Amino acid sequence: MLLLLFLGIAASRCLHDETQKSVSLLRPPLSQLAPDFRSASFTHPGSRDPQPLRIRTCYIRDPVSDGAWDTEGARRRGVPHALVAARQAARRLQGVLAVPPVQGPLLLSRDPAQYCHAVWGDPDTPNYHRCSLLNPGYKGESCLGVKIPDAHLRGYALWPEQGPPQLVQPDGPGVQNTDFLLYVRIAHTSKCHGEPSIIAYAACCQLDSEDRPLAGTIVYCAQHLASPSLSHTVSHSLAKHLGVLGASLGVPLEEEGALSSHWEARLLQGSVMTATFNGARRTRLDPVTLAAFKDSGWYQVNHSAAEELLWGRGSGLEFGLVTTCGAGSSEFFCTGSGLGCHYLHLDKGSCSSDPTLEGCRMYKPLANGSECWKKENGFPPGADNPHGEIYHSQSRCFLANLTSQLLRGDETRRPSQIPHLKEAELTGRCYLHQCTERGAYNVQVEGSPWVSCLPGKAIQIPGYHGLLFCPRGRLCQTNEGTNAVTSPPVSLATQDPLFHLSLQLAGPPGHSVGKETLEELTEAVLQALVSRDHTGSPSTTTGLVFTVYMWKSSGCHGPSVGMLHRALTLSLQKKPLEVYYGGASFTTEHIK
């Protein structure tokens, strides 16, 4: 099951296992159905060549909420955001997993224990163990609080002791071209209320005759619909939905009881299948997880889509053991409670632990403002910046004690004069980096030139006292985004957006957009444009003029940004962009 619970900057535990235990997994009761009632929607291994997994998302309006939260208002604002997040996660997995496709429309099973009050008990009768008395209180099937539409369900019948059945509910039309149904619910449930940090949680509800998951539900907590981590939370949850339930895979699992489905965090930190999540930029759909999908026997896997885990690389057989993690022998673990860098160097971090680490400690991202790659975390113009930090999309966290002021003692000596540089002497700082080739990079501090950063070495920066430590095996580990060695260093100015496009939107007469909904409308504009081009997040003014910035990352192939900008401009002049949001239609009136 691959649905997620990424919770922004702060790590959060996954509710999947405990939620799954509360849901009954329903399999098709083939032995209890007459041939006339058997649907063609079973997956028969070998009946067709595997095809990309077809995931259909279905939003079900929540009739009841467990708390006093304004779910109706949140729903109106958040449904498009929630569905976009679910569909983005589904598209990601469709490019990774393939299955023999369901034949005909997908129809889900009904639970005889729910609709049937009694069955025929005489094994000598033709209709032995078939429903002889209906449950008068039966109101249909549900999946984690979502009422499954009758159109998605098989029918059911009342059987006499002998003879043909009396049809109570015929088969629904089912869902065409679908291998997995993902129901989406927005609510303020008791789980959401009890654990305010939870963005979403999920469970699988139905399996096919080969135990492959067919349907599940993700519940978005209404108060978190504006969370920037929403789509990444869905990815973990959907992965959990589609994955292996309690199978023995030969991979160390968390000690969470008899039915754990999470990899051991001390060994596979950063995998989408660990029990804690630190945001999408720090989480990987890793080779171990994809191997587990393949070993389930349900899927063919596109292994080229695997994202490499850096955690523990080159650390040896004793890495991640409770008995060794506190010895200070590994760069991935830390001791004490100081500040440093998360092991991916995207964030500043504090040395801390959690229950899944079992006493081991690592640098976890700070609760606020830890991201070096977020420009908005930087210093305001004119503010004192004695350590020369730079917050930028190409900035990373480095252990350093740089300062523009004089330091004391050994901190001002050259690296070659320092016998042993301890991490305790340094702290996490954000500086610009630029890959020059695989495993090699330059760094830049505010006001300094680019300086070659030799992995595993401490360097000095012109204009600053102190040292900056260059991590080995963490940065520039792929050829993607690197510049040729002979290319001149890229300055901050040339990293900024190259082109922009301004769109003025006109809505229906009398329709107003409040400040609180501008973010959602901005996302709707971007979703309408993104299928045409490479664009960045649009900014907006109160007059509904959107400015969309366009750039081309280094290493990206294809037409120039200028050509794409001209093509998009001509396209929008020829056919105005239409954006549907909040029940209203907005149209571009002016482009410049």
Q: Which residues contact 514 (CB under 8 A, 6 or more apart)?
A: none
Q: Is 500 annotated as a binding residue?
A: no
208 close to 42: Cβ distance less than 8 angstroms: yes
| CA gap 464, 453 in Å, rounded | 15
Cα distance from N-terminal residue to C-terminal residue, the chain: 46
504: Cβ–Cβ under 8 A, 6 or more apart, which residues?
543, 544, 545, 546, 588, 589, 590, 591
Distance of alpha carbon 10 from alpha carbon 566, whole angstroms: 41
Helices (H) and strands (E) in the chain, counts: 10, 30
Q: Which of 144, 136, 129, 138 shows the shortest CA–CA distance to 110? A: 138
Give the span between the Cα atoms of 349 and 362, in whole angstroms: 9
Rounded alpha-carbon distances, angstroms, from residue 447 to 33, 245, 451, 493: 76, 54, 12, 13
The Cα–Cα gap between 147 and 62 comes to: 9
Structure tokens of 42? 């079973």
**Cα–Cα distance, 337 to 326 (Å, whole number):** 12
* Residue 275 CB neighbours (<10 A): 24
- Structure tokens given for 66: 């467990």
d(CA 134, CA 119): 9
Instruction: Taking each helix axis as running N to C, give the angle between helix 71-94 and helix 518-530, from 0 to 180 degrees, rounded to the nearest 10.
Output: 20
Q: Write the CB contacts of 329 (distance below 8 Å, at least 6 apart in sequence).
A: none
Q: Coil, strand or helix: which one is 525?
A: helix
β-partners of residue 23 are none
Binding site members for Zn(2+): 236
**Residues tagged in the binding site annotation:** 236
